[in-house]
Amino acid sequence: MASRREPSARSTTVRNLPDHILRRVFLCLASSVDLVRAASACKKWRRVVADPGFLVRFRSLHAGLVAGHYHTVDPFYDESVAPSRSRRPVFLPSPTLTVDRRRFSLDFLPETNVWKWKIADSRGSLLLLASEEWTRWKPPTCFYPDLVVCEPLTRRHQFILLPERLKIWSFGFFLLDGDASGGRGVIGMSSFRVVAALYKHSDEPMAAVFTSGHDGGWRLPAGKSASRISLDMDPDDMSFLGRANGSLYWGTVPGLLALDEATLEFSQLELPDEIMDFYDRRGFRVLGGEDGALRVVLVEDNELKVFRRVQDSDEWLVEKTVRLLEATRRLPRRKAHYFRNNEAMIIDADTTNVLMTPEEETWLFSVELETMEAERKKGRNRFPGPAYPCELPWPPVLEACPARVRRRRSCRGPDPTFSSYDYN
């Protein structure tokens, strides 16, 4: 009697995974680049990734991926740049990503034979640039806006004009998130805000807000601020010191002027004498941190000091210090007379590094805030000016498989040859 063969059990593949399991797996991916690569594997995976609720959840767990930084040059530190002109910013990709820097060129912006834009701020994948010339028309028939918001990777941009009533003293333009749907602010070319910090002499500061969209535009505060702040000073005497923990900070004579990004209300923060006695716009910065504490970085007698504000208190503590004379002694091309008489200057700072130079001449070095060690090797140390991070766009563009890999495929895993973030 012929033996009957038992039917083999059907093998289980990743195609059999239910959507809720796939979502849990995709949430464990390291970055948005890995997510896009997974979405390129097959239609089912792409459908799961493209779900708006999933994208909100993924972004709540993963910070935006920084593609690189736009580095600028402050004419104060570079005599080759005319004081009234800015040099074109230079984009340096993040060392952890393979990015074609040409895809982040700003050559799509209107210009004459002279670069006329200055980066005012960056947020997410967007840049905010302000015109250095306020004349509306240039020969022969070129129209120039006052501001432009752009997404360099996609080359999308929007021109913004300032109403005449807002053409008063301004001490900064900044990008804010747009729609806060899903309990989390998002920013992109279809959803952003621009805040203009404005000031009339002997009056309180105010914040005007531009909102994107067909029903957007400029909006002024309905009435006087509840804080009733009066600044009897020239805006040129105020210096932007940094962005930290959801607020923007400027240095003033009595202390700090803060603008809350959520409420758009100004407030003043007094600082103790041990900090304010050494206030100098070129040796003073305000920083945040992962712990939510507010920090001040300053130079005192060529010693870099980090002060931390005690939570729910007006008390400030010295957190770290380093003497620049000793910290830079072994760095290349350091001259013996540096840091002997004149105070060092802070050019730029973020939560991890402080970019500095001696006053005697421009000689760039960075101090790493975790270790308080000085170094000159990083590419950041080539540009004496602020650096503006630029993230990959979010949500990512999820495309079907390109022609070079188009074929009938099962969901056997992501194809490493394709990604919407592969710019080479």
Please determine, for residue 162, whether its predicted confidence score (pLDDT) is greater than 90: no
**Between 229 and 232, where is the model more confident?**
229
Query: Looking at residue 33, what is its pLDDT?
Result: 84
* 340 pLDDT more than 70: yes
Q: Output phi, psi for 120, to 5 deg.
A: -95, -35
Q: What is the pLDDT of residues 117-138, one digit of tens each?
A: 899 999 999 999 998 765 544 4
Same structural domain, 111 and 60:
no
pLDDT of residue 422: 46
Residue 58 lies in a domain: yes
User: Could you tell me if 21 and 129 lie in one domain?
Assistant: no
Q: Is the pLDDT of residue 44 over 80?
A: yes
**CA count, 13 A, side-chain hemisphere, 277:** 5
**3-class secondary structure, 15:** helix
Q: How many domains does the chain have?
A: 2
Q: Which residues contact 406 (CB under 8 A, 6 or more apart)?
A: 400
What is the percent of the chain where pLDDT is above 90?
49
169 and 40 assigned to the same domain: no
* Residue range(s) defining the domain that contains residue 194: 106-270
Instruction: Give the predicted TM-score (pTM) of the model.
Output: 0.84
Choosing from 225, 243, 270, the residue where a domain stops is: 270
Q: 39 and 126, same structural domain?
A: no
Q: pLDDT class for 237, splitting at 50, 70, 90?
A: confident
Same domain, 153 and 255: yes
Of 208, 204, 206, residue with least CA distance to 193: 208
Picking from 270, 290, 311, the residue at the C-terminal end of a domain is 270
Q: Is residue 43 part of a domain?
A: yes
Query: pLDDT per residue over 61-103, tens digit each?
Result: 888 889 999 999 998 898 765 555 567 899 999 988 888 889 9
Reduce the secondary structure of 388-415 to three states and give it as a string.
EEEECCCCCCCCCCCHHHCCCCCCCCCC
List pLDDT tens digits, range 360-383.
999 999 999 999 999 998 888 999
Residue 333, pLDDT score: 95
Main-chain dihedrals φ then ψ at residue 365, nearest 5 degrees: -155, 160
Show which of 214, 242, 270 is a domain's final residue: 270
What pLDDT is stored for residue 139 in this prediction? Answer: 43
